[in-house]
Amino acid sequence: MKETKIYKIRVTGDVLETAAATRRVDVNGQVLSFGREPVYVRTDELPPQLADDRHLRIEEVDSVPPGMVVINLKPERVQEPETAFQEPVRKRR
């Protein structure tokens, strides 16, 4: 089992210069909104939608300030790899 980590996420200065000053990211059907104030996310592994977004500043932290809400992200459903079908081997006579 992987260790759960907490990440503090905010937008970069590029986003703050836009009219909305926020960035919305869809993570497995859950839309997260990021702005100037940090959002704290707890997850086993940071989803690529967040990790690869160059408009987000992401820091791993040890704790969360009192009163802050932490969003728990569940990992994507793990799927077992399909077994490839193999034709039975016929013996030659």
For the chain, domain boundaries: 5-72
pLDDT tens profile 14-47: 887 877 888 999 998 889 999 999 999 999 999 9
Look at the alpha carbons of 35, 37, 38, 41 in this order and tell me if their dihedral is positive or negative: negative
> What sections of the chain are H helices per DSSP?
13-16, 48-51
Name the amino acid, one letter, at 93: R
pLDDT, one tens digit per residue, over 36-80 is: 999 999 999 999 999 999 999 999 999 999 999 999 987 654 433
What's residue 65's pLDDT?
Answer: 92
Amino acid 91: pLDDT: 62
Task: Measure the N-to-C terminal CA separation of the chain; round to a whole number of Å.
Answer: 51
Comparing 1 with 49, which gets the higher pLDDT? 49
Whether the per-residue pLDDT at 83 is higher than 50: the answer is: no
